[in-house]
Amino acid sequence: MTTDSSASLPVLDRLPDPPVKDGECPRRARQQLDLLLLAIEALDLSGSEAILYCARDLELTSIIGNRVNLWRLRATNPLRRAVQRRALSLAEAKALATITVYLAKRLTVLIRQLLLACERLEEQGLSTEHHFRLSDYLERFRSHFRARMNPRRSAVTVYSTDEALNALAINLLQQLLYCTATAGLERFWISLFDGEVA
């Protein structure tokens, strides 16, 4: 079951409704939400279970009640192998954004550790294989990305190498850390619509 309005979900009330066409989440925002959740799945071994648990904890089960609901929302990302030809409503996008920030905050220490490891390895001229936890995250992210994204999409082909996917995975860590800052949810939500509204 999904809802087109966040009026009955107080946890989402703090996020404004941007003036987007037909009240639907734009393509870039759908991609970004799914990729950030993909990064979280590569960080957290419990994967989609953590996302579903978070939805229950935040009382968002009217939007994300089970694995099928979650898959349908994430499959609105046009880069996926199996794309849902449906819109992602603002209420649904708010739910995904809220869960993303909630989980990022829970993983803040690990995210900081991995980003610090990246900096140190770069300073020392060493590859990511020299840090087990970072290497593990990058390997899991590459595996998730290649299994779920459509290699025929031009936006996916630019990530055909391990190096390109590693750069994307690290960039997503930086974005997740941004989400954990003061007013991170509101700032992240607004950033999803940069350039999409008048």
Query: What does the pLDDT look like over 147-176, one tens digit per residue?
Result: 999 999 999 999 999 999 999 999 999 999
Q: Is pLDDT of 187 > 70?
A: yes
What residues contact residue 77 under an 8 Å CB cut-off, 6+ apart?
30, 31, 33, 34, 35, 83
The string over 86-125, giving b where at least 16 C-beta atoms fall within 10 Å of a residue's C-beta and e elsewhere, is ebbbbbbbbbbbbbbbbbbebbeeebeebbebbeebeeee
Does residue 33 belong to any structural domain of this protein? Answer: yes
SS3 44: coil
**Within a domain: residue 120?**
yes
How many domains are there within the chain? 1
Does residue 19 belong to any structural domain of this protein? no
Asked, for residue 51, whether it belongs to a domain, the answer is: yes
Q: What is the pTM of this model?
A: 0.91
What is the identity of the amino acid at 166? N
Is the pLDDT reported for residue 3 higher than 70? Answer: no
Q: Evaluate if residue 5 carries a pLDDT over 60.
A: no
Residue 79 has pLDDT above 90, yes or no: yes
What is the reported pLDDT for 53? 93
Runs of H (alpha helix) within 44-107 = 48-57, 67-74, 90-106
Domain enclosing residue 70, as ranges? 24-188
Residue 178 in domain = yes
Q: Is residue 3 part of a domain?
A: no
Q: Report the C-alpha gap between 29 and 96 in whole angstroms.
A: 11
